[in-house]
Amino acid sequence: MDAASQKFESAQADFSWDQLTAVVQSHEITTGTIAFRRVVSSTEMIAHVKTDNGQPAPKDILYKNGELAYYQPAIKQQTIFSTGANRQQAEGFLTLGFGGSGKDLAANWIINFQGMEAIDGTQTAKLDLTPKQVGSNQMFTHVTIWIDPARAISLKQVFFQESGDTRTAIYSNIQMNQVPASAFALKIPHDVQTIRK
């Protein structure tokens, strides 16, 4: 995984996110495309949401330079969040599945290897990760990831919350090291309202 991580420049994939609200056993399925890029020692990410529960719901999410921009074309609004002191934690979640090394994982997570498992014909290492830093702003109690060690990418991730809610991410049609730098920018019309938080 460490050797593959050193070769990682960028990746793009189709995604399906399944947000389960445990108390009512309700699923919200979101689909779209996502791309990651390593820039020196940080990671950039852009996601283009296409559908929510089968209905068109275009939205764009960009993480770059310690800021998360969330663009909603339907309401002509862009909300920008600064990760501030939580930048390392935010980037830790980004590198969790795309381009992170074993050393990166060990720095932020307690790693429990749960064996090898095939996902869509690819042998993956199934890892259960518990955050080393536990705090009041902790979003997830633990995360299970299925990593293709040959490419240092995750094919599946399940994020577990204390409430019993889970978020399952499945990645497919993965292309390695072919994403141009120009892809990591939002195309925002001039009449869009920007809110900073």
pLDDT of residue 2: 66
Give CA–CA dist 6/25, Å, rounded: 41
Segment 34-69, tens digit of pLDDT: 999 988 878 899 999 999 999 999 999 999 998 999
| Residue 92 CA from chain centroid, whole number | 10
Given this model, what pLDDT does residue 58 score? 96
Q: The sheet that has 67-72: what strands, in order across it?
A: 109-119, 122-131, 142-148, 153-160, 166-176, 10-21, 26-39, 42-52, 55-64, 67-72, 77-82, 193-196
Instruction: Give pairs for 174-178: CB < 8 Å, separation 24+.
Output: 174/11, 174/12, 174/13, 175/11, 175/12, 175/13, 176/8, 176/10, 176/11, 176/151, 177/7, 177/8, 177/9, 177/10, 177/11, 178/10, 178/12
* Domain covering 1-196 in this structure, CATH number: 2.50.20.10
Please check whether residue 79 is in contact with residue 69, taking contact to mean a CB–CB distance below 8 angstroms.
Answer: yes
Per-domain boundaries in the chain: 1-196
For the chain, which ranges sit under pLDDT 70?
A: 1-4, 94-95, 135-137
Q: What is the pTM of this model?
A: 0.89
